[in-house]
Amino acid sequence: MAEVPYHAHIQERNCLVEVEGVAQPAPAPRFSRTLDAIQNPPQRPGQDAEAVLGDWGFSAQEQQALRAAGAVL
């Protein structure tokens, strides 16, 4: 996947944009009278892990164990 941003087709069509150092798909479809700006920065790995694991019923101790084991960022 590391080569995707450098592919000639991707570069010619401006399919990717970089936001806060993270390459991500550009908004699509593109219309002539519609702004195509990215509204929010990309999520970081593990950014919402605590909330998600809590929603799934994992206790704080279980979450800590998962982090210690390297299963969760």
Q: What is the structure's pLDDT at 54?
A: 95
Q: What is the DSSP string of 8-52?
A: HHHHHHT-EEEETTEEEEPPSS--TTS-----SPPPPTTTTHHHH
Residue 1 pLDDT greater than 80, yes or no? no
Q: Does residue 25 surpass a pLDDT of 90?
A: no
> Considering the entire predicted model, what is its pTM?
0.48
Interval 2-22: pLDDT, tens: 788 889 998 888 888 888 888
Percent of all residues in the chain with a pLDDT value above 90, rounded to a whole number: 36
CA distance 20 to 43: 10
